[in-house]
DNA sequence: GAGTTTGAAACT
DNA sequence: CAGTTTCAAACTC
């Protein structure tokens, strides 16, 4: 498939968006570089990457800020430095993360029972969801207003380890994510992905090619899944488990699933072809109907090429 | 409600 | 980065 060169156009639907920055570090010798808030993922805000420095930023889920600040604070003070005055409401010694005593909506949250993590690790659902503990049964909890410093450090540690740590696990429409799909994929081995141990199953979605699970039964057309959906129970007969190698990827190949050959590159190339057709139609001044026809024909050709190239490579 | 199983997160 | 340990939720009895 040849990818046509994009021409300038005012077609706005298929505009490419710049990659989303996750963390910005600027060396002391360089001028401060501000992340452009316009490129942030939806619902995310920017914070300084270090408590005691002005250098670098982290992106945090907005709900952290909603907890920390009753009043919205400006992302960047005019002088580019993060001062207590600039953001806190006077209750915090932290430049950006002072709790504002937000009242927790206890109805929407399941209480945790953490005993050893102090609710400051991702083991804790409250912490992982960006919530403070309230009405929980946890022991030695530090995920609260009284321990805001520890909490901030814990958040930063998590973000240092994984900048995506507080992103929703299920794709929510971010560029490159697929809605209703676990972004990281599960790693289940014994549950058949049909128990709540499985993050995919718990989220009521099917496992995908990103999962590394073994013996997966959480896929479209799975008889076990149908049974679970109708009866609500899953009888795991491990002795007759003939699907030890039933991973989503392997199944994809066995079932000749189109996902096996439709990679992101293929999708990108297809979109480029369709876009070129749209631009051509626009340039020639064709009607909407004619443009649609051209695009559909192009799409058909793309599909044909995908199938042919996959057949050649033995993928199907 | 105590004990077991499970898989994600954290650690080495 | 793979293997191991820790952890808390899900599950079973």
Residues 189-248 of A with CB under 7 A from strand C: 195-197, 202
Indicate the burial class of A27 (C-beta count within 10 angstroms; 0-12, 13-18, 19 or more).
Answer: exposed
User: How far: A131 CA to B12 C1' (Å)?
Assistant: 30
Tens-place pLDDT, residues A210-237: 899 999 999 988 888 888 877 767 765 5
Tens-place pLDDT, residues A46-69: 555 444 444 445 555 555 554 444
pLDDT at residue A102, as a whole number = 39
Contact A120, A142 (CB under 8 A): yes
Predicted TM-score (pTM) of the model is: 0.56
User: How far: A102 CA to B12 C1' (Å)?
Assistant: 39
User: How far: A136 CA to B1 C1' (Å)?
Assistant: 18
Report the distance separating Cα A313 and Cα A168, nearest Å: 36
**A108: CB within 7 A of chain C nucleic strand:** no
Q: Any bridge partners for residue A23, and if so which?
A: A58
Question: What token pair was written down for A293?
Answer: 């026809």
**A125: CB within 7 A of chain C nucleic strand:** yes
Distance of CA A196 to the CA centre of its chain: 20
Indicate whether A95 pLDDT > 90. no
Element holding A23 (H helix, E strand): strand A23-24
Contact A146, A120 (CB under 8 A): no
Element holding A307 (H helix, E strand): helix A288-312
């Amino acid at each position: 498939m040849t990818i046509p060169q994009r021409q300038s156009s005012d077609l706005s639907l298929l505009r490419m968006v710049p990659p989303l920055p996750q963390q910005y570090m600027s060396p002391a010798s360089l001028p401060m570089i501000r992340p452009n808030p316009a490129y942030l993922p939806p619902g995310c805000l920017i914070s300084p990457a270090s408590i005691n420095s002005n250098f670098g930023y982290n992106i945090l889920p907005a709900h952290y800020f909603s907890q920390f600040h009753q009043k919205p604070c400006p992302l960047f003070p005019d002088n580019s430095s993060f001062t207590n005055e600039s953001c806190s409401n006077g209750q915090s010694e932290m430049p950006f993360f002072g709790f504002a005593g937000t009242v927790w909506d206890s109805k929407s949250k399941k209480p945790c029972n953490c005993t050893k993590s102090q609710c400051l690790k991702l083991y804790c659902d409250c912490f992982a969801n960006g919530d403070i503990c309230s009405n929980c049964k946890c022991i030695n909890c530090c995920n609260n207003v009284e321990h805001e410093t520890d909490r901030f450090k814990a958040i930063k540690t998590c973000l240092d380890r994984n900048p995506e740590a507080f992103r929703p696990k299920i794709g929510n429409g971010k560029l490159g994510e697929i809605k209703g799909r676990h972004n990281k994929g599960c790693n289940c081995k014994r549950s058949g992905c049909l128990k709540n141990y499985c993050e995919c199953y718990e989220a009521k979605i099917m496992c995908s090619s990103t999962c590394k699970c073994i013996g997966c039964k959480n896929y479209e057309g799975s008889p076990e899944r149908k049974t679970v959906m109708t009866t609500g129970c899953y009888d795991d007969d491990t002795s007759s488990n003939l699907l030890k190698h039933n991973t989503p990827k392997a199944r994809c190949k066995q079932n000749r699933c189109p996902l096996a050959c439709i990679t992101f590159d293929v999708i990108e190339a297809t979109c480029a072809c369709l876009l070129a057709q749209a631009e051509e139609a626009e340039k020639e001044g064709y009607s909407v109907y004619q443009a649609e026809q051209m695009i559909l024909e192009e799409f058909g050709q793309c599909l044909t090429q995908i199938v042919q190239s996959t057949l050649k490579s033995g993928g199907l």
